[in-house]
Amino acid sequence: MAGLRDMSRIKKVWEQSTQYFRRMRSQDLTGNTDKQAEEVIQPAPLWKRKSTIIIGGVIILLTTSGFIGNDQYNKYIERNTFPYYHVYIDGNEIGTVAEAKEVEAMVAAKTKALQDANPGINMVLETGEITYELDKGFKFVPETEATLAKVENNFNSYAIGVEVKVDGKVIGVVKDQETADAILARVQSKYAPELAAASKSQKNVSTLSFDGKADEAADEAAADPNEPGVKVTNVEFVEQVAVQPLNTNPDDIQEAEDVYKKIVDGSTKPTKYVVQAGDVIGRIALKFDISPQVIYDNNPWIEGDRITVGDELDLTVLQPELTVRTTEQHVDLEKIAAPVEYVKNDQMRVGESKTIKEGTEGSQRLTYEIVKENGYLISETLLEKVVLTEPTATVIEKGTMVVLGEGTGRFMVPVKNYRVTSKFGPRWGRNHNGVDFTGNKNIMAADNGVVEFVGRKEGLGNTIIIDHKNGYKTVYGHLSSYKVSSGDKVEKGDYIGIMGSTGNSTGVHLHLEIHKNGVIQNPLKYL
């Protein structure tokens, strides 16, 4: 078969050579038809005819001698046949390249450039499904540059972000799940800092859970139930929170701090209120449906509950996008005061008492459940009250024996509907030893006692002195008349005289003095 192919090829070469010689001869003999009329036909030059004969002879010689054989021909074809690749995207041919790795290198370079331009963001270069088909061709030149450009034109890029939604409302888009979880944990830590530091990320963040270390710490804190303290038992969002990935433009990815502030600050509308007549803190809070704590926090100048008409209150309430509800268990230890038991002693005078047995305080543990929303108290429930130590009673004897004429040591103002006109102390350059009263004219005994003196005293005019038999004496001056006599026993409230203006007096009034063991006292300290 190889011989037949060689003969066929030789025959083909011979025919081509013959045709070539014929063309050359025809040109020599005929020339241009326009020139035939003017010129005499001349034979072709000898050198041209010799060259043609020589070339033809060489071709025939080479062909017939097998110089251009089958093996040399195949090697020539093989040396000039080059491999290349057809490039397809999603099954559609894009073009040809010399090497498949050129496409792969371009994809890698574009991916790196995309990531470098958006640091910290998860970028995706969408190339489609790129496939290759190996082929080869004789002296074939693939269109590598054009094909790479076409491949690049098919690229699409986007960022993979994480969307945070509250009750279906998009609050923000952050770079990844870890960032979203950290923001939500930070929001919770604002109101439950002791546990949020140990929180671990979860896809379902309606209630963040806490790791074993936090649980162990909480267990250790509650190991001794008699120790007071606070334990956060639950932290949750009131609203429905959804966190999910999405494809987005990298310019739409927000900073974590911006999303956090949007959640905790929300929309805020300043509110001012001017206090009206009859307003109190609780009523204002109820009127605006806010916690009284908001009023105190926003208006630190308020002392106690004192506000006056015309005061301007800042009632601005932050409206955060998320509400953090915390449930806390508070354990408090309280003392139980020792109860007092009184025992009557009829051998002891009224007003006297004596402790015959000292009591001891007890203690109890109170456990409360406190629910807060964004730090504001919502409810407080007493879960348990346990008496740890029972108190013992203090026993006191109280005298019941009444001795006529003996004072109790507790004085009353001896004038009804009184008004103080002059107090105890320096007056007009000297000391005023009593207190002056005006009011109802009937003067009463300030305490039980025995009338020691009835008569006139220098400066005081008509005077009554009562000895209360307990170290105290009372003096009543400037009276107009008396209703008792020396030696009479009187009880607190008995009428003893009539108010007047005797002695050195500036008008109708009562001058009252109290003496203790002979030392003048300020009456207002005892009345």
pLDDT for 318 equals 79
Which long-range contacts link 519-525 to residues 24+ away (Cβ below 8 Å)?
A: 520/433, 522/424, 522/425, 522/435, 523/411, 523/424, 523/434, 523/435, 524/420, 524/423, 524/424, 524/435
pLDDT for 1 equals 44
Q: What does the DSSP assignment read for 133-158?
A: EEEEEET----HHHHHHHHHHT-EEE
pLDDT for 527 equals 87
Q: Which of 263, 162, 161, 254 is nearest to 203 (CA)?
A: 162
Q: Which two tokens stand for residue 323?
A: 């509400």
Query: 272-317 — its CATH code?
Result: 3.10.350.10
Looking only at the bridges linking them, the beta strands covering 394-401 and 340-349 are parallel
Residues comprising the chain, all counted: 527
Tell me how far CA of residue 197 lies from CA of 193, 233, 347, 504, in angstroms: 6, 15, 70, 82
Distance of alpha carbon 268 from the chain centroid: 15
Q: Which two tokens stand for residue 429?
A: 């350059």
Q: Which of 176, 213, 172 is nearest to 195 (CA)?
A: 213
Domain boundaries, the chain: 2-79, 83-154, 162-265, 272-317, 326-401, 419-525
pLDDT for 22 equals 55
Which long-range contacts link 249-258 to residues 24+ away (Cβ below 8 Å)?
A: 249/158, 249/159, 250/118, 250/121, 250/123, 250/158, 250/159, 252/159, 252/161, 252/173, 253/121, 253/159, 253/161, 253/173, 253/174, 253/175, 254/172, 254/173, 254/174, 256/174, 256/179, 256/182, 256/183, 258/172
Query: 326-401 — its CATH code?
Result: 2.20.230.10
485: DSSP letter:
-
pLDDT for 169 equals 92
Q: State the CB neighbour count (10 A cutoff) for residue 212.
A: 10
419-525 homologous superfamily: Glucose Permease (Domain IIA) (2.70.70.10)
Q: Are 434 and 446 in contact (CB under 8 A)?
A: no
| Residue 354: strand, helix, or coil | strand
One pLDDT digit (tens) per residue for the chain, 527 residues: 444 444 455 555 545 555 554 555 554 444 444 444 343 334 445 444 555 555 555 455 545 444 445 788 888 888 889 999 999 999 999 999 999 999 999 999 999 999 999 999 999 999 999 999 999 999 999 999 999 999 999 999 999 999 999 999 999 999 999 999 999 999 999 888 765 444 443 333 333 433 333 344 444 444 465 678 889 999 999 999 999 999 999 999 999 999 999 998 887 777 899 999 989 998 999 998 888 888 998 999 998 788 999 999 999 887 889 999 999 999 999 999 999 999 999 888 777 889 999 999 999 999 999 999 888 888 999 999 999 999 999 999 998 876 677 888 899 999 999 999 999 988 777 889 999 999 999 999 999 999 999 999 999 999 999 999 999 999 999 999 999 999 999 999 999 999 999 998 889 999 999 999 999 999 999 98
Q: Are 342 and 398 in contact (CB under 8 A)?
A: yes
pLDDT for 72 equals 86
